Every structure is written in structure tokens, then in C-alpha cells.
Amino acid sequence: MRNFTYLLLLVLFLAACKKGDVKPIAMIPCKDTLQHDIVSVNGTTKTLINQEISFNISWKATNGCDQFIGFKQDTTENTIDIKAYAAHDSCVVCAIATTSYKPATYKFKATKAGTYYLKFYKTGRNPDDQPITDTLLVE
């Protein structure tokens, strides 16, 4: 009787799982999103509330095939940590070898007055990798 109970529970469990319930995870094979070093920043040091400003950024590409995706920012009070991300195809050997820097534009708009600290990060692979910190006065 006990074996029959276990068998019945197993059949009910398997019957509860439908093939349509399992959904595959959407993945793009070979496409990796990697953080890249921000090596230079050029922008203003003073702005007004609700005025969008741009910073010209240079980021270090792994090879000539890297495509810039965007910035990720984390905000803690008036400190903004900014990291650059690019797509990298790990299944293809890129014939364009490079150690060059590529441009990108970071946009910022403050909603309140104060002093802001914008920290532009490198990947942190080297212990000496310190962020580039720009101080921005918003009036």
C-alpha cells in the first residue's frame, strides 16, 4: 500500500508539470556585456538645476569590434558612480586589433542645487585603478 501511495504521488506530481510551463531563458549566444575602463572625461564644472549637460568620455576598447551599449550609474546622495559597458562577441576573433579609445557621451541633469561628485570608473582589475572624479556645482 505504501508503494502505491508513493507511485500515486509521483504520477500526480509529473502530471502537474506541463511541457508548456517551462519557458526557455532568452539568450544571445556569444554576446557578452563587459565593463570597460573610462580613461578620460571632459565636461563642465558648473551648471543650473534641471539643465542637461554632457560629458565627453573616452573608454578603452578590447578590440575594434566592441560596440558601446551605455552607462550604468549608482547614486548615493550627491555622489554618482558611473561605469561604461560595451558588447563583445566572444565567439568571433576580431580581425581589428586595437588599443585605441572610443568616444561616448554621458548626460547628467540635477534636480536640486548642490555639489555633485561624478565618479567615472575603470574595471578595477588593477589595484591602482582609481575612478576619475569630477566635481560639479549645481546652482
Give the number of C-alpha atoms closer than 13 A to the C-alpha of residue 36, restricted to the C-beta side.
29
Give the number of C-alpha atoms closer than 13 A to the C-alpha of residue 115, restricted to the C-beta side.
3
Give the model's confidence band at 129: pLDDT under 50 very low, under 70 low, under 90 confident, else very high.
confident
Burial of 36 (0-12, 13-18, 19+ CB in 10 A): buried
**For residue 60, what are the CA distances in angstroms to 1, 36, 66, 75, 103?**
69, 6, 10, 24, 9
Mean pLDDT for 75-98 is 83
Three-class DSSP category at 63: coil
Mean pLDDT for 81-106 is 82
Task: Using a pLDDT cut of 90, give the percent of the chain over it.
Answer: 49
pLDDT for 4-35, tens place per residue? Answer: 665 556 565 555 555 444 444 445 567 778 88
Q: pTM above the 0.85 mark? A: no
Residue 59 has pLDDT above 60, yes or no: yes
